[in-house]
Amino acid sequence: MRTALALGMLLSTSLTVDAADIAARSAVDAVTVFPQGAEVRRVAKVKVPAGSHVIVIPDLPAQAQAASIRVEAKATGRLEIGSVNSRTLSVPRVDPEAAATARRRIEAEIEKLRDERGLIQGEVQAAEAQRTFLNNLLQLPTRPITATGATSGEDWGKVLALVAKEMAPVNKAIQEAGFRTRDVDRRIKDAEGRLRAEAPVMEHRIEVKVDVSASQAVEAELVVSYQVASASWTPLYDVRLATGSKAVAPRMTVTRRAVVQQRTGEAWSNIALALSTTRPAGGTAAPQLRPITVDYRPERPAPMAAPMTRSRAAPTGGAGMDAAAPVAASMPPAAPKLAEAAVQQAEAEVGAFQAVYSIMGRQSVAPTGELRRLQIDEAVLEPALTVRAVPRVEERAFLHARLVVPKVAPWLAGQAALFRDGTFVGNGRLPQLAPGQDHELGFGTDDRVRVKAAMIEEKRAESGIISASKTETKSYRLTIKNLHERPIGFGVVDQIPVSNNQEIKVELLARPQPTKRDIEDKRGVMAWEDRLAPEEEKAIELGWRVSWPAAKSVVYGR
């Protein structure tokens, strides 16, 4: 009997320990921001007695994606984590006790103001009674004469003087009481507005419950990580070009910055902030293509034939199911696609286009969408300078600098502020660039390179007697001269017409021949590239001859 009693007490104690919930408050410690979205790490420190318990962490934001919630733990002893569950709760936005205290203070203020208004109304009533009495005195001279015809002997002049003397302060007191009443009413209205504002405002939060088991009492640190959508970072670039001199080589300094913002509903205060190029929301696998078929247009079915067949062949509701079945069968299954995105997403982004930048020091980002600018790093590069010109469009040369991305990490696409020799020359844009990839940026007009374009010839002619044809010939002379103290590369870009009809022939007349043709897959666009020594000038003769049947006319278009 004693053994059974002891076993029952032990079992009761064990059940009590196992059923205990341990509340744990957490704080944001680290955040990794993606181009779209972020991963947040919260830390909660808690003391866990021996036995099985449920640790309740109630302060995750409503945006936390339930599927992304993960829990890790470190402890001073052996601690095992079981299941992790989450649910959405509606909780007061402010501390309920503090809100109740504020409401009681405002209610007491309103009650005091109403008492003050009551006292003022009492003063008004007393003044109104005095005014009524004085008005009654003014009526005495008009009272009827007694039956005997005798007079009472009052001095009505003194009575009227007394009434006039006492009436002015009474009216003033009533008027001032009205002013005070309006002021008190305004203060009561303001206090009632503040009282309504103190009404409990509910917001959604996610509560996480973690089943743990400890062989002995331990102190544990739980790390809860999850992803949120309403956060992002965008790269910005400051590109500063020093063009150098005859003895000093050009140099380019690229400062990479990030603009971070978030509207997650939680404050990121004094956190370790990192920026990642991974795109969790960008898909994980290449799109799948379906076969494209071509067939004869089907003949139009006889009227009502299909509906009558379906109504006889299918039970009630079957016609709708049959009509939807071919569409459903032709679509890719939804479940495998979702599973594929969940599993492969991180791996798809890890590689050549994945990097994480840890920002130095602890940072804070407000949850209001306010932009926070942070510096990532700075790279000093050796650019290749060239000038580019389109003389027939504009007789100016533009300085271009070609940079090569360091073989460390990719650069994401972003706006670039361009500076040349310390002067801001405009904004450009960098595309997404892989490590080792090159890109060219323009830095405005180069006044030390002179560019000219002049027409040499323009004529039309007809040839032949039986199968006559027409021809049109145009030719230009393009010159470029280097006035710098050092050599510089150049590129002259121009174009000739292209034919959209096999009867229209276009012949290029150029000396020297272009070094590049159909630039960027643009038909007829060509370039001449070379180098110019100081004070050197080079000339390019560009022309074309267009011929077509004389019976027809041609038109130039873009």
Q: 133 with 161, same domain?
A: yes
Query: Strands, E, within 34-118: which ranges?
Result: 38-48, 51-61, 70-75, 79-92
Instruction: Based on the fold, state whether residues 84 and 217 are members of the same structural domain.
Output: yes
Average pLDDT of the segment spanning 258-262: 94
What percent of the chain shows pLDDT beyond 70?
Answer: 80
List the single range of 8-17, 213-222, 337-346, 485-494 with lowest mean pLDDT. Answer: 337-346
Q: Which residue has the tokens 């990121």?
A: 268
Q: Which of 321, 340, 360 is the last residue of a domain?
A: 360
457 and 531 in a single domain? The answer is yes
| CB burial of residue 526 (10 Å; 0-12, 13-18, 19+) | buried
Average predicted confidence (pLDDT) for the chain: 81
Q: Which residues contact 441 (CB under 8 A, 6 or more apart)?
A: 239, 400, 401, 403, 416, 418, 428, 430
Q: Residue 195: what pLDDT?
A: 81
- At 153, is the pLDDT very low, low, confident or very high (cuts 50, 70, 90)? low
The C-alpha R_g of the chain, in whole angstroms, comes to 44
Domain contains 536 = yes
- Calculate mean pLDDT across residues 237-253: 92
Residue 115 backbone dihedrals phi, psi, to 5 degrees: -65, -40
Lowest mean pLDDT among 7-11, 264-268, 516-520: 7-11
Range of lowest pLDDT (241-250, 270-279, 461-470, 545-554): 461-470
At residue 177, does pLDDT exceed 80? Answer: yes
Residue 244 and residue 115 share a domain: no
192 vs 201: CA distance, rounded Å = 17
Q: Are 252 and 96 in contact (CB under 8 A)?
A: no
Query: Same domain for 355 and 268?
Result: yes
At residue 11 the predicted structure's pLDDT band, cuts being 50, 70 and 90, is very low
Whether the Cβ atoms of residue 494 and residue 541 lie closer than 8 Å to each other: no
Please check whether residue 340 lies inside any domain of the structure.
yes
**Structural domain count, the chain:** 4
Establish if 398 belongs to a structural domain.
no
pLDDT digits over 77-111, tens only? 898 888 888 888 876 666 667 777 888 888 888 88
**Secondary structure (3-state) at 535:** coil
Q: Is the pLDDT of residue 282 over 50?
A: yes
Beta strands 525-532 and 488-495 are: antiparallel
Is residue 272 very low, low, confident or very high in pLDDT (cuts 50, 70, 90)? very high
**Lowest-pLDDT choice from 26-30, 77-81, 132-136, 490-494:** 132-136
Helix axes 318-330, 305-313, angle to 10 degrees: 110
Could you report how far apart the first and last alpha carbons of the chain are, in Å? 105
CATH for 214: 2.60.40
Does residue 290 carry a pLDDT above 90? no
In this prediction, residues 411-421 reach a mean pLDDT of 93
pLDDT of residue 166 exceeding 50, the answer is: yes
Do residues 268 and 354 share a domain? yes
pLDDT bin (cut points 50, 70, 90) of residue 169 is confident
Which is higher by pLDDT, 96 or 15?
96
SS3 string, 166-179, reads HHHHHHHHHHHHHH
DSSP, residue by residue, 284-323 = SSPPPP------PPPPPPPTTHHHHHHHHHS-TTHHHHHH
- Do 342 and 248 belong together in one domain? yes
Packing angle of the helix pair 156-197, 96-138 (nearest 10 deg): 170
Domain span at 165: 108-143+156-190
Give yes or no: residues 510 and 494 share one domain: yes
**Same domain, yes or no, for 249 and 184?**
no
Quote the pLDDT of residue 403. 94
The answer to whether position 333 is within a domain reads yes
| Maximum average pLDDT range among 267-281, 338-352, 462-476 | 267-281
Looking at the predicted structure, is the pLDDT value of residue 476 above 60?
yes
Among 11, 34, 54, CA closest to 212: 54
Tell me which residue of 70, 66, 83, 365 sits closest to 204, measured CA to CA.
Answer: 66
pLDDT in tens, 319-336: 333 433 333 334 445 444
Q: What is the pLDDT of residue 222?
A: 92
What pLDDT sits at residue 516? 94
pLDDT of residue 93: 61
Cβ atoms of 492 and 527 within 8 Å: the answer is yes
Establish if 439 belongs to a structural domain. no
Q: Are 62 and 205 in contact (CB under 8 A)?
A: yes
What are the pLDDT digits (tens) for 387-405? 999 999 999 999 999 999 9
What does the chain come to in residues? 558
Q: Which ranges in 223-382 belong to alpha helices (H)?
A: 305-313, 318-330, 334-349
Q: Which of 242, 494, 512 is nearest to 385 (CA)?
A: 242
pLDDT above 80 (res 254): yes
Per-residue model confidence (pLDDT) at position 145: 54
343 domain-assigned: yes
Query: Given this model, what pLDDT does residue 144 score?
Result: 60
Model pLDDT for residues 127-148, shown as the tens digit of each residue: 888 888 877 776 766 666 555 5
pLDDT recorded at residue 286? 76
Counting beta carbons within 10 angstroms of the beta carbon of residue 339, is it exposed (0 to 12), middle (13 to 18) or buried (19 or more)? exposed
pLDDT value of position 326: 39
Q: Is pLDDT above 70 for 350?
A: no
Contacts of 547 by beta carbon, 8 Å cutoff, 6+ apart: 469, 470, 471, 472, 504, 505, 507
* 543 occurs within a structural domain: yes
Kindly tell me if the per-residue pLDDT of 263 is higher than 70: yes
Q: 195 or 388: whose pLDDT is higher?
A: 388
What pLDDT, on the 0 to 100 scale, is given for residue 147? 55
* Paired tokens of 544: 């074309």
Looking at residue 489, its pLDDT comes to 94
> Would 376 be classed as within a structural domain?
no
List C-alpha distances in Å: 414 to 274, 377, 411, 550.
18, 15, 9, 53
Q: 489 with 505: CB under 8 angstroms?
A: no
Q: Do 63 and 133 lie in a common domain?
A: no
Q: Please count the helices (runs of H) and the strands (runs of E) in the chain.
A: 6, 25
In angstroms, the CA 403 to CA 398 distance is 16
Phi, psi of 35 (to 5 degrees): -50, -30
Together in a domain, 245 and 324: yes
Q: Same domain, yes or no, for 220 and 244?
A: no
pLDDT given at position 281:
64
